[in-house]
Amino acid sequence: MNMNDFNMEEKDIYKLFNDVKIEESEFDPMDEEVTDIEKQKIKKNLKKRIKGQRKFKALKYFSIAAALGLICTIGIGTISPAFAENIPILNSITQKLNDEFGSHGSYAEYSQIVNKPVTSNGITLTINEVIADDSKLVIGYTIKSNKKIQNLETFSLSMFLKVDGKMSGSTGSSAGNYIDDHTYVKSEEIHTDLIKNASKKINIALNVDEISNIKGKWNFAFSASKDQLVKNSVVFKPNIKLDFPNSIAKVDKIVFSPIDTSIFVSGNYKDKEKVKKNMEVNHDDSLMDYDYWVAYDDKGVELIPKGLGGGRGDSNTGIFNIEMQYNKLNKIPKYLTIVPCKITPSAGGSESIDKNGKEVHYTVKSKKPVEISKTIDGVYPIELSQGKMGKITIESIETDKDSTTVKYRVDGKAPYFQAQDLWIKDSSGKEVDYKSYDIRKDDSKPNEFVRQFKKLDPNKKYTIFTNDFSNVEFREDLKFTINLSK
């Protein structure tokens, strides 16, 4: 299966990050090996979640190494043809993939080279590199096969991971790409408490027994040091307490790292029984109300969201922990301004889960925003309203031999957040695939964006779209500031 077969949109990435629930009865504490039956159950659930969704950069999935209430993400996306060249072994896969997706951290500088291949049943899995800090592992790896390989978008190393001999719940995100029919490269970011509690040297074991439905034995044991990345990170502990409608939260720390920026939040539900019932009845599975944070630096420039780094919530105790991630900042601001948001996913439909051995069907709570569109007729500018959030102004659309580039300006409350929601359809209603996910090309012009699509056919009519963000609660009344001073 080519990644283009996944008919999803990048514009739903961040809006769907918080919308996966794992039932308590589905998982026991993962201190023992995961069975084949459990693995098949997770794959089944994941394929259902992928089927019928729009095309987007990252999709949450249930890691079968996950403990109660964990969220896990897996990256899916098409990358430019220029990427589909042989990657020199000394080049950082992690750096290349994150650059393509707009996360321009110093991954190559902090990568520790492993380059260990293991071959089984015609498939070679190579662990190329690893990066570690106090909250996560980033692993770059390559899968090569003597036959065509499929469905690797849903493959994850997290389900096979042991740290210092222990298996634990893990969350994270990843980005991957098919180089050709026989080669897949991926960078996977895995968050687990075992890393936080480990010493500077982390002993990693990966005992992989299945890749793309092929059984085998790909066993790895290697070490990683988190000392270098931790040493070059700056940590603030503001101890800010927040009173949200349904929860009490606290900003525990903010980490400015050479590869990203993370905000760690913990808290508890005010009425855990109400939250538990809401999860069971309405399947409102956000870990914290208003759990998507739009962040601005001291110049008012919006931080680029990297995604929800990880999170867990236990409906029995009412306690949750969340890590929110943004791109690396070149300079630490004097303060951050946060506007909490609540986003109802635009994609709904029916889902099913296994609960106590029985398949339970339910409807996913959703709200589809109103689409706003105009025909592309060669006359510019084209202005598209985005409701109360603001507007997009299309300044030009140009097509060359490889792609079609849309240059546009966004005015409104959260320009980068708004800028993600831009797509094109042909006259039959088919959406044009993105060619690149990196939309902010000039940091000095934070309101100006470039979106690259696959080349438009000059003989076809197209319409350009955005939406009115009516599924977003942008709570400026809950806005708060985090002062960054030691």
Is 439 contained in some domain? yes
- What residue type is 55 in one-letter code? K
Where residue 446 sits, what CATH number does that domain have? 2.60.40
Q: Which residue has the tokens 């300044």?
A: 395
Helix intervals (H) in 31-187: 36-50, 93-100, 107-110
Tokens of 51: 């089927």
| Contact in structure between 470 and 370 (CB atoms under 8 Å) | yes
Question: Six-digit token pair at 40?
Answer: 């098949």
Query: What number of CA atoms fall less than 13 Å from residue 261's CA on the CB side?
Result: 19
**Is 205 within 8 Å of 162 (Cβ atoms)?**
yes
- Of the candidates 99, 97, 108, 110, the one whose C-alpha atom is nearest the C-alpha of residue 233 is 110
From the number of C-beta atoms within 10 Å of its C-beta (0-12, 13-18, 19+), residue 329 rates as middle
How far is the C-alpha of 160 from the C-alpha of 34, rounded, in Å?
A: 8
Q: How many residues does the chain have?
A: 486
Query: CB atoms < 10 A from the CB of 197, how many?
Result: 12
pLDDT for position 408 = 98
Sole residue written with tokens 């409701």 = 387
Is residue 260 domain-shared with residue 192, that is, in the same domain? yes
Pairwise CA distance, residues 40 & 486, whole Å:
49
User: Is residue 290 domain-shared with residue 356, that is, in the same domain?
Assistant: yes
Half-sphere exposure of 31 (CA within 13 A, CB side): 1
pLDDT along the chain (486 residues), means of 10: 35 34 35 46 40 32 29 34 37 80 81 93 95 91 92 88 84 83 91 82 93 93 92 94 93 95 92 68 66 95 80 77 92 96 76 53 76 96 97 97 96 96 96 90 92 95 97 96 89
The structure's pTM equals 0.78
Tens of pLDDT, residues 387-405:
999 999 999 999 998 999 9
Domain of 244, CATH number, reads 2.60.40.1640
Q: Are 45 and 314 in contact (CB under 8 A)?
A: no
Closest CA to 342 of 13, 12, 11, 18: 18
Radius of gyration of the chain (CA): 22
**Is the residue at 139 inside a domain?**
no
Nearest to 163 by CA among 199, 201, 202: 202
Query: How far are the Cα atoms of 224, 238, 418 from residue 264, in angstroms, in the given order?
Result: 23, 11, 24
100: in domain: yes
Structural domains in the chain (count): 2
Is residue 341 domain-shared with residue 423, that is, in the same domain?
Answer: no
> For 426-474, what is each residue's pLDDT tens digit?
999 999 999 888 899 888 999 999 999 999 999 999 999 999 999 999 9
pLDDT at site 346 = 81
The β-bridge relationship of strands 247-256 and 260-269 is antiparallel
Any domain includes 141: no
Boundaries of domain holding 421 = 371-470
- Same domain for 266 and 391, yes or no, is no
Secondary structure E strands in 331-447: 335-343, 350-355, 358-363, 371-375, 382-385, 390-399, 403-412, 423-426
Assess whether 454 and 417 both reside in one domain.
yes
Q: Convert 229-238 to b/e letters by CB count within 10 Å (16 or more is b).
A: bbeebeebeb
454 and 418 within one domain? yes
Say if residue 333 is in the same domain as residue 354.
Answer: yes
Angle among Cα 204, 225, 328 to the nearest 5 degrees reads 110
pLDDT computed for residue 51 by the predictor? 32
Same domain, 340 and 406: no
